[in-house]
């Protein structure tokens, strides 16, 4: 029996607050001043302009929010589970580094989306509960308060033996996500960083009834390690004496049942309005970046979100990512895209100088000795990837495989979203009204809501 091992070339893991930054100190390059501690933020970023030093028990915003656990971190923030003492509930407090607190668009977009007309898909956008600033030894930090989440979809898959969601659960999550992206695009917002780490599973409402001690009894107490300089010198004022390891509040992906898979779309730090803010480069993970980010010298827009949405939908539906590479250079990513989807548009194909290392001029696979390592020589088309990423892992895990009818509709939807030219790619509204959404995605979402309502009543 094989088990799921994530193939991630970038060494990244994601936290329950939706950060897409590295969670493992050992993956960082360059020298550090501190003894290595795994699964914490970059300790060298505790300096002027960087992280704000915090400890469990600290109170923020005039004593309203008391930190009780750590949810996660990113390159530009630490995220904490806090008790809102004014409202007797738990919240997530994202404390942004001082050097990005003044330029992050996240608060602006969350506020705008929270005040937009209620439409399908808005329900996955986290409501902005509060925002405020704190000043410390490393500068002034913006704090964003939203509802907390149990885990990211990435973390749920990582915790599972097979890295799969149950079929109906996967269908419902995909439907929620497509509706949410369609809502964002109607509001003229490109998310800019769609991936499994930025899609979170909501906490059940019952958590608000737990006292802090009951929370620790159920999920474990916060764990911390002392911060120690390698040169033996004392820590500077802006460096915490102890650093906390993010807690685990989630469940493996295959244990999520229908009715418990309500999602939140998080991390709007890379979001933009394409009519007002021209964006020429993609900031999401290399393997998810759309081809126009490399081959077109024009601003990105909504189609770039559709490409990354497709890659994310694929990974929710099955076990493995659509595109994989241990070292995802731009050329290796393009190679994966061409192998799966076919030859690039002619002007892009000519522009790609290294195309003949993997293909002939007609776009047929033609591996050279130096590029064939680890490849069996058989072209991994979208159809073949569907079999080994989705069908075979589901069968091995004892889950229902995809019927031929659903497969035809699902692949048809994805192919319309993976057109190389952005102007030929399906829009979010077209995806929302696709055959797969009507026949499988939306019915699963409706069944989930009925299940949830029956449990609540």
CB 210 within 8 A of CB 218: yes
Q: What angle do CA 83, 37, 106 make, to 5 degrees?
A: 45
Mention every residue, 6+ apart, whose C-beta is less than 8 A from residue 1: 396
Backbone angles phi, psi at 195, to 5 degrees: -165, 170
Mention every residue, 6+ apart, whose C-beta is less than 8 A from residue 214: none
What DSSP element (H or E) covers 372? none
Each residue of 127-161: b (16+ CB within 10 Å) or e?
ebbbbeebeeebbebbbbbbbbbbbbbbbbbbbbe
Q: Residue 320 and residue 164: Cα distance in Å, rounded?
A: 9
| Known binding residues for ATP | 94
47 pairs with which residues across the strands?
none
Q: Which two tokens stand for residue 326?
A: 């241990």
Tell me the three state secondary structure of residue 283. Answer: coil
Which residue, 69, 103, 62, is CA-closest to 83? Answer: 69
Q: Which two tokens stand for residue 443?
A: 């019915």
Question: How long, in residues, is the chain?
Answer: 457
Q: Residue 361 and residue 189: Cα distance in Å, rounded?
A: 38
What DSSP element (H or E) covers 298? none
Q: Which two tokens stand for residue 270?
A: 């890379």
| Known binding residues | 94
Backbone angles phi, psi at 105, to 5 degrees: -85, 0
Residue owning tokens 């890379």: 270
DSSP string across 70-115: EEEEETTEEEEEEEETTTTEEEEEEEE-HHHHTT--HHHHHHHHHT
Q: Residue 33 and residue 332: Cα distance in Å, rounded?
A: 34
């Amino acid at each position: 029996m094989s088990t799921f091992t994530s193939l991630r070339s970038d060494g990244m893991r994601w936290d329950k607050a939706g950060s897409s930054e590295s969670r493992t100190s050992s993956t960082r390059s360059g020298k550090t001043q501190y003894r290595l501690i795994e699964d914490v933020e970059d300790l060298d970023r505790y300096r002027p302009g960087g992280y704000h030093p915090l400890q469990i028990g600290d109170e923020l915003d005039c004593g309203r929010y008391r930190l009780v656990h750590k949810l996660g971190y990113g390159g530009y923030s630490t995220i904490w589970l806090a008790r809102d003492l004014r409202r007797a509930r738990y919240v997530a407090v994202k404390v942004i580094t001082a050097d990005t607190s003044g330029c992050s668009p996240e608060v602006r977009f969350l506020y705008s989306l929270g005040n937009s007309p209620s439409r399908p898909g808005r329900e996955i956008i986290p409501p902005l509960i509060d925002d405020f600033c704190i000043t410390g030894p490393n500068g002034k930090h913006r704090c964003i308060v939203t509802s907390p989440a149990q885990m990211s979809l990435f973390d749920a898959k990582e915790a599972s033996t097979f890295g799969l969601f149950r079929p109906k659960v996967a269908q419902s999550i995909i439907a929620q996500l497509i509706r949410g992206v369609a809502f964002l695009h109607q509001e003229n917002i490109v998310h800019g960083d769609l991936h499994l780490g930025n899609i979170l599973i909501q906490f059940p409402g019952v958590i608000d009834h737990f006292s802090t001690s009951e929370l620790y009894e159920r999920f474990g107490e916060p764990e911390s390690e002392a911060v120690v300089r390698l040169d033996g010198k004392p820590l500077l004022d802006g460096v915490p004496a102890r650093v906390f390891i993010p807690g685990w509040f989630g469940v493996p992906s295959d244990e999520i049942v229908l009715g418990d898979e309500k999602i939140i779309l998080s991390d709007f730090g890379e979001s933009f309005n394409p009519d007002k803010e021209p964006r020429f480069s993609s900031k999401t993970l290399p393997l998810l970046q759309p081809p126009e980010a490399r081959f077109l010298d024009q601003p990105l827009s909504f189609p770039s979100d559709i490409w990354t949405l497709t890659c994310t939908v694929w990974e929710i539906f099955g076990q493995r990512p659509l595109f994989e590479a241990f070292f995802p250079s731009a050329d290796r990513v393009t190679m994966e895209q061409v192998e799966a989807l076919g030859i690039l548009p002619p002007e892009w194909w000519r522009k790609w100088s290294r195309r003949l290392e993997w293909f002939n001029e007609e776009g047929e696979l033609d591996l050279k000795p130096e590029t064939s390592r680890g490849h069996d020589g058989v072209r991994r088309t979208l159809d073949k990837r569907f079999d080994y990423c989705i069908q075979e892992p589901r069968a091995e895990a004892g889950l229902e495989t995809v019927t031929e009818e659903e497969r035809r509709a699902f692949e048809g939807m994805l192919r319309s979203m993976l057109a190389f030219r952005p102007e030929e790619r399906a829009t979010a509204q077209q995806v929302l009204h696709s055959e797969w959404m009507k026949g499988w995605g939306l019915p699963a979402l409706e069944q989930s809501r009925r299940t949830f309502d029956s449990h609540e009543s």
